[in-house]
Structure 1
Amino acid sequence: MKIRFPSHKNQTLIFKSHHSEKTIPRTVQCCASTFDLKGKSVAVIGLGKSGRAATKLALARGASVIAIDQNENLSLLELNPLFEKHGHLKTVLGHFDTKLLKDADMVVVSPGVPLESHGLSFLLQSMLSHLGIEVFVGGNLGIPLSEAAIQCLTCPSPKPVFQVAVVEVSSYQLEVPNKHFCPSVAVVLNLTSDHLERHKTMKNYAITKCRLLSHMTNSKLGILPFGNKLLNEAMEELVNEVNLAWIGAFPGVKVDKEEKVASLRVPAIGVVSELKLGALNVMGTHNYYNAAVAALSVLGLDMGIDTEAISSTIEKLRVPPHRMQIVHKDSYGVTWIDDSKATNVEATYTGLLGLKEQKSVILLGGLAKVSNSQESNGFEQLVEPLKYHRCVITFGFSGPLIQKTLSDDGLSIPCFEAANLEDAVNCARSVARYGDAVVLSPGCASFDEFRNFEHRGKVFQELVFSSE
């Protein structure tokens, strides 16, 4: 099958389509048998949550494990009740001899970086659960995948523990070449300038992300954002056989923002349908796209689920807390939106793009993420999407800096400065008009006033209701 990039007439990728004519329900299967690693030595590097879970899995499969971490203050795993029954375990903390790695039959590297969910995993979990499907959600976010493998390995029942695994994968994990990781559906939601201290260039970052699809063949489905030149080039280098779908173009998924309808068109896997999203209780175009991508992902699993069944779940779906969450519509006709999860400018920018048709009062502030190597704090890129809105209110430690940046770069709407979040909410109440939204999408970390973004969001919600 030839797949053309709609906006690049001369650019063509060749992919083979092998979609099965018969729909066969799939389930997650553990390919390993008990004690298949007996007599083998496994070195696990990094003893965070994922590293400890990998250690447990290797021991459960009969391996001898050397557990390594440079943090000398950690406790030895041998002294942990969860590991003490295993005799083939040795923990090495601090500096270690690299010969330990050379002598190991297998080396497992912990991801080493926290991954922030875009809400897609949350929507997939909710959608699949409402459809009655047993689903595991985790990976580099939350529960390590090794924990799911242990449950599958040790379950005495012939009934599968999980039918679907929704796994978030860190780009750090994808740096390590692998032969066996082959998802049924893979989604790359975006490519932003995160983790460049590790990947050095955006080109390297794109190539690393696209390794997610490097072993996918036959009827498997890869979903990527449309129009990203770096991702397109990376796909040419890494992919041989996979059905590709685009976020924002066909084959793939497009969303009519006014009608709140998603069109799903991937003929290669038999998907040609529409999905009504009006019952979804969220704000922002990106949330509609997340729901549409979640639906396409479920259809791509080839489990006998159709669009009609997915439609029945839409009104039951909820976005994760503090992510364009509709908090309250007050007696003055103002809708209050909590997007406290937007802890950087890029996240706020994405949220603003989805609010063009909703006149809003935008709350920006907190502790801006500015490194010494940056020439700007990044808030100048918000000037364009902010022009559609009522006004801006800045607050917190970086409030004055944000206000100056926006003003210097030609902000065309009023901008008010508040001392803290409470003052910002009170100010918003006085300037918002009937039909407006007040959106907390700070673009900053929360640590000047709060413990974390969740605490900030909770306080915001309390302030919203305090005057009702």
Structure 2
Amino acid sequence: MNDDKNNYALLSSPLRAGGLIVLGGGESGVGAAILGKQKGYNVFLSDGGSLKESYKQELLANNIEFEEGGHTEEKILSADEIVKSPGIPEKNELVKKIRAKGIPVISEIELAYRFKGDSKIVAITGSNGKSTTTSLIYHICKVAGLDAALVGNIGYSFAKQVAEDPKPLYVAEISSFQLDDIKEFRPDVSVLLNITEDHLDRYEYKFENYINSKFKIIENQTEDDYFIYNLDDEVITKKLETLTLHINQLPFSMKQEVKKGAYIKADQMMLKIQEERVSMSIYDFALKGIHNQHNTMAAGIAASTLGIRKEKIREAVKTFESLEHRMEYVATVRGVDFINDSKATNVNSTWYALESLKKPAVLILGGVDKGNDYSFIEDLVKDRVKAIVCMGLDNKKIHAAFKDVVKTIVDTQSAHDAVTTAFNLASKGEAVLLSPACASFDLFKNYEERGKKFKEAVKEL
């Protein structure tokens, strides 16, 4: 108990000016604070909301000053440098004041990069498929016996990993929000999967701003580095036409053969990067669906740039298990399959989910709309969806979009009601697909909680 008292005394001591301020006390913020403290910075963490108890304990254990439930502006505006949580938008009033004062603002991945030493980074971004592709690359690395860490937007702080358990290789999922505040961050291998309209509320509703944000992943790369990208994505290829790059470019495609990179022809994936060539039947891929053929090609190329042998790539691609909340099979109840795709927080993700379904479905949609254009999935809904169950507080937009496409649209406001309603609407040999196309904050803390509640409700049937 004495140690705790001493730590609380430290927290209530007079605030010192300057130093490194960390704004936001989530996974990335706490990780940044721990790394900053370890490297000798005078660190102070400030969160406008409440901190998780586990994060508080980590801060206390590391003797890091913090506050929650509000910000001490005088302290923050006297900082030498600020690490801003990716969740805090530029329109935030405190951020505006920080920018007006000209205080340098960086992201947690920039701080991690600063202290990663000689370690290599494979960084993956894109509007959809980031988590799956990042996890697949990490799985290939583990199968090949490489000492790697899985970090970034996927759940474990890059900065905390560098502080507590540094590795020679980091496989990092990177969001546009994390890229917005990089300065020198430079991955050895960058992967850009696709770009579709998402998070436009954070980018002044200008698609070009979001595109530019995604492309920041390559802005510091040199001729020693690799850039893996989707040649079938028109947004990416149009942007590339405007750029002069001095990076090793490795495209992947399902529409054309490439000299270097990867392509699929006659149901065979061909990888050509180093001396070694890899060919593999798409029917051996653990991940199913056209979008996952893109993800698997990207992962295979990344593995080849790391010198991983083709036998190991083949083995890993065959043995990979898909992620929780991403097209996750939950159970079959009286002939009805239940699939949890709670991670689908935009329309494009739901398009991918419907595209990979091979049976009629009852689709559970809804949540916090991020400016969705549902016409994008209209044809697939018409072709594969027999009923829609809305799970959200405001479902007017969904009703308006699909009233002439689907006969049955039902409103619910909990996972339990949504699952029960969907089960009653589905017939044997069909599926119930949770792929909401929306954020989850109206009824849940995050998409993970939404997915867990869905699975609990299925088990109660």
Fold match by TM threshold 0.5: yes
Alignment of structure 1 residues 361-440 onto 2, 5 Å: 361-369=361-369, 378-389=373-384, 391-397=386-392, 402-408=398-404, 411=405, 414-415=407-408, 417=410, 419=412, 420-430=417-427, 432=428, 434=429, 436-440=430-434
8 Å Cα contact 1:253/1:265 also seen in 2: yes
Cα deviation code 1:405-445 (max 9, x no counterpart): 2134xx2x654547532343323432x5x4x5443323244
Partner of 1:348: 350
Q: Distance in 1 between matches of 2:62 and 2:376?
A: 50
Alignment of structure 1 residues 180-195 onto 2, 5 Å: 181-195=185-199
Residue 207 of structure 2 is aligned to residue 202 of structure 1:
yes
Partner of 1:264: 271
Q: Distance in 2 between matches of 1:367 and 1:70?
A: 26
Partner of 2:157: 144
8 Å Cα contact 2:346/2:438 also seen in 1: yes
Q: Distance in 2 between matches of 1:163 and 1:111?
A: 25
Partner of 2:245: 239
Partner of 2:30: 52
* TM-aligned CA deviation for residue 166 of structure 1: 0.9
* TM-aligned CA deviation for residue 339 of structure 1: 1.6
Partner amino acid, structure 1, of 2:87: V
Partner amino acid, structure 2, of 1:347: S
Partner of 1:14: none
Cα deviation code 1:136-177 (max 9, x no counterpart): 11124422222222235xxxxxxxx52421112232333335
Normalised to the residue count of structure 2, the TM-score between the two structures is 0.71
Bigger-Rg structure (1/2) = 1
* TM-aligned CA deviation for residue 72 of structure 1: 8.6
- Which of 19, 43, 48 is residue 20 of structure 2 equivalent to? 43
Partner of 1:442: 436
8 Å Cα contact 1:44/1:66 also seen in 2: yes
* TM-aligned CA deviation for residue 231 of structure 1: 3.3
Partner amino acid, structure 2, of 1:378: D
Partner of 1:20: none
Q: Distance in 2 between matches of 1:335 and 1:295?
A: 31
Partner amino acid, structure 1, of 2:402: L
Cα deviation code 1:271-304 (max 9, x no counterpart): 63223343445443223332332222111223xx
* TM-aligned CA deviation for residue 192 of structure 1: 2.6
Closer/same/farther in 2, CA of residues 229 and 442 from structure 1, 3 Å limit:
closer
* TM-aligned CA deviation for residue 99 of structure 1: 6.7
* TM-aligned CA deviation for residue 219 of structure 1: 4.5
Alignment of structure 1 residues 166-185 onto 2, 5 Å: 166-176=171-181, 178-179=183-184, 181-185=185-189
- 1:96 is paired with a residue of what secondary structure? helix
Aligned-pair identity in percent equals 23
Alignment of structure 1 residues 156-175 onto 2, 5 Å: 162-175=167-180
Closer/same/farther in 2, CA of residues 401 and 125 from structure 1, 3 Å limit:
same
- 2:131 is paired with a residue of what secondary structure? coil
Partner amino acid, structure 1, of 2:419: E
8 Å Cα contact 1:399/1:417 also seen in 2: no
* TM-aligned CA deviation for residue 369 of structure 1: 1.4
Closer/same/farther in 2, CA of residues 83 and 66 from structure 1, 3 Å limit:
same
- 1:142 is paired with a residue of what secondary structure? coil
8 Å Cα contact 2:138/2:150 also seen in 1: yes
8 Å Cα contact 1:53/1:146 also seen in 2: yes
Partner of 1:321: 324
Q: Distance in 2 between matches of 1:211 and 1:168?
A: 14
* TM-aligned CA deviation for residue 98 of structure 1: 7.3
Q: Distance in 2 between matches of 1:441 and 1:234?
A: 30
Q: Distance in 1 between matches of 2:229 and 2:49?
A: 41
- 1:237 is paired with a residue of what secondary structure? coil
Cα deviation code 1:172-216 (max 9, x no counterpart): 33333523x221211122223233333332222222221211222
* TM-aligned CA deviation for residue 325 of structure 1: 1.8
Specify every segment of 5 or more residues in structure 2 that has no aligned partner in the other structure, as ranges: 1-17, 89-124
- Which of 233, 251, 261 is residue 252 of structure 1 equivalent to? 261
- 1:296 is paired with a residue of what secondary structure? helix
8 Å Cα contact 1:367/1:444 also seen in 2: yes
8 Å Cα contact 2:24/2:48 also seen in 1: no
Q: Distance in 2 between matches of 1:439 and 1:70?
A: 36
- Which of 271, 290, 295 is residue 295 of structure 2 equivalent to? 290
Q: Distance in 1 between matches of 2:373 and 2:230?
A: 23
Aligned length: 390
Q: Distance in 2 between matches of 1:278 and 1:466?
A: 34
Partner of 1:276: 281
Normalised to the residue count of structure 1, the TM-score between the two structures is 0.70
Cα deviation code 1:42-95 (max 9, x no counterpart): 42341423233333323323x3424253639779999953233x8xx7989421
Partner amino acid, structure 2, of 1:405: A
Partner of 2:48: 71
- 2:318 is paired with a residue of what secondary structure? helix
* TM-aligned CA deviation for residue 320 of structure 1: 0.8
RMSD: 3.8
Partner of 1:26: none
Partner of 1:110: 84
- 1:273 is paired with a residue of what secondary structure? strand
Residue 60 of structure 2 is aligned to residue 81 of structure 1:
yes
- 1:162 is paired with a residue of what secondary structure? coil
Closer/same/farther in 2, CA of residues 414 and 264 from structure 1, 3 Å limit:
farther
Q: Distance in 1 between matches of 2:219 and 2:87?
A: 22
